[in-house]
Each structure stands twice: as structure tokens, then as C-alpha cells.
Amino acid sequence: MISGVLIYGLLSVFALMVVPLVAWIWIKLVIQPVRRERNKIKHTQDNAIVIVNALGNMEVVPLVEGLRPTIVEADPTSELAIVDMYNHSVTQKTIAEGLGISQSTVSRVVAKHKKETGG
């Protein structure tokens, strides 16, 4: 009888020590890496930065209050559209007029793409 109580007592003490250890490992390996991803800067530019906010969503944050980023700087898919149109022999002026942005912005995006691809 006493040996049974002693064994179950030792097992329960062992379990009380193991459960917090497993919980601590779970927090360190699973929960904290997810938190580190939040508020992380994904992209920078002259007038704004793109971050992952506390909810896990991408957000464009202006660096100067009242200054809004251009459509290309706010939306990376627009850069892809510009490069795609340029690769299909559409002029920079036509791209700028079609997207409602400046030709210098189109030129900058095309130059950036050429630099990144080495072409």
C-alpha cells in the first residue's frame, strides 16, 4: 500500500516537473518565432517602409507624416506589371499613362529590375 502511494507520488511529482518543461519548449520553439516575424521590415524606400504588423498583415507605413507612397512603392505587384509590360515592348511613357504614375517611376522600376536580373 505504501509502496503504491510512494510510486504514484513520485510519478506525479515527475509529471509536475515535465509538463512545465514541455510547455516552455513549446513556447520557445513554436510561439516566439511567430512573434519575431511580426513588426519586421520587409521593404524600405525613400518615403515609406513595408512591415508585417501585429496582426500579421503587410502594411505600408509612411516615414514622413502626410506623405503617401506611390502606387508602385505601395504594391509590389505593380512593379511586376510594369516589368511585364516593358518586356512586351510597351514604352515607358505608355506604361506611365496607363497606370497613372510618372514616367520617372516607371524608369526607376525598370532600372531596378535590370540591375536585379543583370540584364
Same domain, yes or no: 115 and 99 = yes
Rounded to 10 degrees, the C-alpha dihedral 112/115/116/119 comes to 120
Instruction: Note the maximum CA span of the chain.
Output: 91
Same domain, yes or no: 87 and 110 = yes
Confidence of residue 62 (pLDDT cuts 50, 70, 90): confident
Same domain, yes or no: 110 and 77 = yes
- Count of domains observed in the chain: 3
Same domain, yes or no: 88 and 110 = yes
Residue 109: half-sphere exposure toward Cβ, Cα within 13 Å: 27
Element (H, E) at 80: helix 76-87
The CATH number covering residue 77 comes to 1.10.10
Confidence of residue 92 (pLDDT cuts 50, 70, 90): confident
Same domain, yes or no: 11 and 56 = no
Angle (CA) 38-52-46 rounded to 5° is 130
Strands, sheet with 41-44, edge to edge from the N-terminal-most edge strand:
41-44, 48-52, 58-62
Query: Has residue 56 got a pLDDT over 70?
Result: no
What pLDDT does residue 77 have? 62
Range of the domain at 105: 70-119
118 vs 31: which has the higher pLDDT: 118
Distance separating alpha carbons of residues 58 and 53, to the nearest angstrom: 6
Same domain, yes or no: 59 and 77 = no
Same domain, yes or no: 65 and 109 = no
Whether pTM > 0.75 for this model: the answer is no
Query: Has residue 65 got a pLDDT over 80?
Result: no
What pLDDT does residue 87 have? 86
